[in-house]
Amino acid sequence: MGELSERQKFILTLVIHEYVRSAQPVGSQTLVDRYALDMSSATVRNEMVALTEAGYLRQPHTSAGRIPTEEGYRYFVSRMVRQSELPAPIQRTISHQFYQTRHDIEEWMRLAASVLAHQSRVASLVTAPHSEQARLKHLELISTRGRQVLMVLVLTGGEIHQQILALPEPISQDKLTEAANHITQLYQGQDINGTNVSNSNLSAFEQVVLGLVSGLMGQSNALVAGEVYLDGLTNVLAEPEFAGSEEARRALHLLEERSLLEDLLSRTVLRSPASGVQVLIGGEGTWDDLRQCSVVLARYGTPGLATGTLGVLGPMRMPYGRAISTVRFVANLLSDLVTETMVE
């Protein structure tokens, strides 16, 4: 599997481009015609033989055209599309859309998912910014109609959690506010995790609240990602390779099921130190459900404070250039927005 000649790389690119476009095996004559190549189909055939022997192309059957192998896609992605950028007009359009939603964080996530899905016509996911070791920023206790209290917790990084607390007997809103302020004052900026939550300065009620806060923070820190926003799931159903097959269901199920998604994210972007875009092609031998799929992922945010993940999932026959540049661009955009707004 040595180095390829320039012409071989060129033909590999064309085969991939044409296959992504048409979803049909690509023949030598087709390629010459469609791209007005300055050589004969026989020459293209010879190069195709070389690319096939190198493991970058394969034939569905003896007398058919070529389609890219997983290795073919990998070669293409790693050496040929890394540097491409999203066209400037599209960049401006997207930036403008984000500007219009500049006041609403949740809307950023939804918009990011929508942009990713539309730009590359695949399924997309965005996780809300999340810190693996958040500290307390603010606590609020709000009385409800019943004998219950709504607890609102703001963590550094900007995450907001709410939880319900059942009281043995009603407590007035004034007392609740007082308790919340007391705890906020004492524990602001700390990671109240699990242990060491007894404090003789606190009333019995405050002690209980503190225990719950501690539990919630521990639970939150254990998570790999924040809330998940999906979009464009129906896009991938339109792809011919997924027409009615089991494969599509399994891949989308991976996105629907939080635990599966956490596994995917924790073993990829979150393990890698670099902030670049990562491309998983064909499940990489680890995820059976993604054998027919590719995933393009990137992290955004401020490492240490709060980060999120975004990316797209589609068939292996995916417009990688477009997908990668879109993911990179949106990740940078979200990073800027979120870093500016980070609660610390």
Q: 301 - beta bridge partners?
A: 307
Residues of this chain, 6-65, that bind its own copies according to CB under 8 A: none
Q: Which of 300-334 are b and which e, b meaning 16 or more Cβ less than 10 Å from the residue's Cβ?
A: bbeeebbbbbbbbbbbbbbbbbbbbbbbbbbbebb
Q: Would you count residue 244 as binding its own copies (CB under 8 A)?
A: yes
Nearer to its own copies among residue 75 and residue 242 (C-beta): 242
Choices 47-55, 90-98, 100-108, 310-318 (CB under 8 A): range interacting with its own copies: 100-108
Binding to DNA by residue 275, rule CB under 7 A? Answer: no
In this complex, which beta carbon is closest to DNA, that of residue 64 or of residue 164? 64
Sorted by sequence, the CB contacts under 8 Å of residue 118 that are 6+ apart come out as 232
Contact status, residue 313 vs residue 293, Cβ threshold 8 Å: yes
Q: Quick count: other Cβ atoms within 10 Å of Cβ 229?
A: 21
Q: What are the start-end ranges of the H helices in 130-257?
A: 173-187, 204-222, 233-237, 246-256
Query: For residues 312 and 325, is the Cβ–Cβ distance under 8 A?
Result: no
What is the Cα–Cα distance from 297 to 305, expressed in whole angstroms? 20
Q: Which helix (H) or strand (E) holds 129?
A: none
The reply on whether position 167 binds its own copies by CB under 8 A is: no
Inter-residue contact 308 to 338 (CB < 8 Å):
yes
Name the one range near its own copies by CB under 8 A: 4-12, 59-67, 163-171, 262-270: 163-171
Question: Which residue from 5, 133, 234, 286 is in contact with its own copies, where contact means CB under 8 A?
Answer: 234
| Binding of residue 63 to DNA (CB under 7 A) | yes
Distance CA 12, CA 72 (A): 8
Q: Which does 129 bind (CB under 5 to 8 A by kind): DNA, its own copies, none?
A: none
Rule CB under 8 A: say whether 69 interacts with its own copies. no
342's contact among its own copies, DNA, none, with CB below 5 to 8 A by partner kind, is: its own copies
Nearer to DNA, 57 or 192 (CB): 57
Number of neighbouring beta carbons within 10 Å of residue 274? 8
Instruction: Reduce the DSSP state of residue 21 to 3 states and report it.
Output: helix
285 DSSP 8-state letter: G
**How many chain residues are in contact with its own copies, going by CB under 8 A?**
46
Site for its own copies contains 189 (CB under 8 A): no
| Span interacting with its own copies, options 7-15, 40-48, 148-156, 191-199, rule CB under 8 A | 148-156
Closest to DNA by CB, 17 vs 82, is 17
89 touches its own copies (CB under 8 A) = no
Residue 12's SS3 state is helix
**Residue 33 or residue 106: which is nearer to its own copies going by CB?**
106
Q: Binding of its own copies at residue 148 (CB under 8 A)?
A: yes
How far apart (Å, rounded) are the C-alpha atoms in residues 142 and 180?
Answer: 9
The one among 61, 96, 145, 271 contacting its own copies by CB under 8 A: 145
Q: Write the binding mask 15 to 54 for DNA: x where contact by CB under 7 A, - elsewhere.
A: ----------xxxxxx-------xxxxxx-xx-xx--x--
**Distance separating alpha carbons of residues 143 and 4, to the nearest angstrom:** 69
Residue numbers at the binding site for DNA (CB under 7 A): 25-30, 38-43, 45-46, 48-49, 52, 59, 61-66
Residue numbers at the binding site for its own copies (CB under 8 A): 102-106, 137-138, 140, 142-146, 148, 150, 152, 154, 158, 160, 162-166, 212, 231-234, 237-238, 242-245, 248-249, 252-253, 256, 339-344
